[in-house]
Amino acid sequence: MKKYFWIFLCILGGILMIIGSATGSAFYQYLYNLALPYIAPGLLPLVQALLTVLEYISFYGGYSVLVGTFLILIKHSRLGKIIIMIATSFGMLGLIIFAITWIVRYLGLPLDTQADLILTQIHSLFTYNSGMAFIGTALAVLGRYGVKRSEKAEKESSKIKEYNEITSSSNSDSKFCPNCGAKLPLKANFCNKCGKNF
């Protein structure tokens, strides 16, 4: 599908996340408190700064998805996809925790006291008052994945086009590698320079 369809899915997902109040800053703080005893004192300021950035991106989940989508539109695709991934990670994790908790409680699976306490603590960090947050998160994740695939397909297509242009303009006794552009004999099945098979 076209890249703009996937971008539209990201935008729709971001809007639904805003309506559903999908935020995730409490979970990052919970992870930080768990990891704190294992962090070297010299790395503590760096970890705190990174955590602050992650908290802001996840706290403004839907808005962060829209910012990431805007960055994709203005050709800063890699940064945009990273922001969308961070913004949607909380919602996807929340859905997984919700499903695990529901299965454990519904089936009455026995857990030891420590595991049950951790599951209860993590479950309490998420709010499940609106399905829109989860639907929006799923759409944003799907849109990000689609953008990534369409960009890869565009890149491959441009390589093939470039290869065809090079080979059509060359003389009939040689051809060029579609991967690195090296000049090769016409009957070559692989590139002597980069090893690409064709």
Q: How confident is the model at residue 25 (pLDDT cuts 50, 70, 90)?
A: low
Task: For the full predicted model, state whether its pTM sits above 0.75.
Answer: no
Q: Say if CB 48 and CB 164 are below 8 A apart.
A: no
Q: What is the mean pLDDT of residues 3-27?
A: 80
| pLDDT single digits (tens) 125-176 | 766 556 777 788 889 889 989 998 888 888 888 887 777 676 665 555 778 7
**CA distance linking residue 46 with residue 127, whole number of Å:** 29
| pLDDT single digits (tens) 97-114 | 888 888 988 888 888 888
